Structure 1
Amino acid sequence: MDPVEGWLTGAWRRSYIRREKNPGSKLGPKDASVDVLYIQTPEAFVDIRRPAKDGLSTEAKTLAFGGVTSTFDTDNGGKTVHWHACIDLDWDQGEEGSQKSSAAWAAADAGRPLGTEDIGLFECIQTSNPQKWRETDPDGTLEEEWVKVVDAGPFLSLRRGNAILVLADDHFALASGAAFVAGTIAENGSWVIELSASDRNTEGTPLVLEGAPQDWKALPASSSGVRYNNKSGWEVGGACFPYPQFKSPRNPLDSCGRPLLPCPHERKPFFKALKMLLLSMISAVVLQRRIMGPSRHGWKMPMKT
């Protein structure tokens, strides 16, 4: 998949949505009853939506999904976006849903994402910060206004199986079988969940990821510049995303939830140095035995004559 156009990358919050009440009718009033945090990196996206308040609107619905994105320029200078979901909260979380997700990711990895009906036409309505964009669908049945709360990177996209984690500066979003959440990284390095489509009780709590840092693989466009630093986090282009907490029993955690053991590629220099030390010790023993002569009582230095 080619990276998406730069105007789309970042973190977005939705101001409102308007829908047509009946086929062919005018769009209804602005509805802001759903909180939305959508994060788009050059390689992937995650979109988390849940009602702002329980029972506020009968139309408010919880949605969450992630995958890859295609962008196109229209003949009249507009912007068209296709979102190809590869994991979705509405999909069965059992074996059937897992197979569906695996097939979608396989198609995306091959550069031929599955077809989608999730298509948006974008128009910039405010160029000053924060940028505002209006989205409509090809059939004219809805209108959404988006505010770009993060316009620049660094960006990072990580996969573990069918799960996808995306980061744009200090904002993150996760779509996995265990959790569909989004939030921000605090100044102290903690990852705080702000929106949860899977369990609202987790909002305000730290994010805990399955596995260990090295289990989360950077997508191709990110992988060339990503370093797994044991002491700090994922390093990308001079910036660093601090590690969240991890569940992996293979990596002991410190008091901040960071792994104590270095990642595999960071262990190589240590083992190389250990090997050199052992070889030097063996060489010293061999040399000592060569310059010492045998005796009835063991090895001793030969006497001068």
Structure 2
Amino acid sequence: MHSAARIPYLLCAPPLLLYALLLATPLLATLLLSLYGFRPESGIEATPGLGNYLEILSDPYYHAIFLRTLALAATVTGACVVLGAAEAVVLTRMAPPWRGLFLLVILGPLLISVVVRTLGWALLLGGQGPVSQALQALGLAAGPVSLLQSPGAVVLALVHVLVPFIVVAAWASLQRLNPEIERAGASLGAGELTILRRLVLPHMLPGLLGGAVIVFSLAATAFATPAIIGGRRLKVAATATYDEFLNTLNWPLGAAIAVLLLAANLAILLLCRRLLERRRSGGAVARQEVAA
């Protein structure tokens, strides 16, 4: 191979090596661990097999955990897409001084530790928190009301921290939209909703899809928020993996849960990527037809 042709490979070698050491190696070790057996009286057994995966796939208990995890992630993603799209449109139409200030406010949750942020929500939603006291003051509750250990509380806490990913992705997509297009639509009699639906949303859709993939992955694998806000009554895949590793010490079963969760996330990521590529190819064909 010519020396000049080897330059891209040499430049890619350091990050690929770092990726292999810090990510691929632990993932491979987790996959291999998930194939081992386990006995409570003797611990991990070096008898490779698919017993852990068969146990998870055949047990309704784990079915409920994975369905709850996917439903929770889908709900969080939907709420983030709606809120993030609206916030991105508002940010785009703000003047520069206010735009930077409000963008900092939106990104604020990412600057706080996940544990501190989650404990703050626990205090707000607890039986002695401001929400409970406000409900009692308004006469909507006769006594202390705790909103913890409920799906709604977990969704609220996760949306609070994950919506900035949608806002940034959608806002970046809107930067490529020429403002003259909206003015042209308005001059032709289109209303505000029509402009948003037919002009703004199509330009924002790639960013929304990309941000939604990130939000779904982070929500499905979140641990601290479901563990603190949801508690033991609202177990998801991440907390189930934690319990298997540190409570029952069944590391192979915990590794199998983690591998299946990763596989589900990858499958959804590939599906969204395929939809995005299909949309791009359809848009290119439509532009070619219009040009012809």
TM-score interval, smaller chain:
under 0.3
For CA contacts below 8 A with separation 6 or more, give which structure has more relative contact order: 2
More strand by share: 1
More helix by share: 2
- Length-normalised TM-score, structure 2: 0.25
- Length-normalised TM-score, structure 1: 0.25
Whichever of the two has the greater Rg, that structure is 1
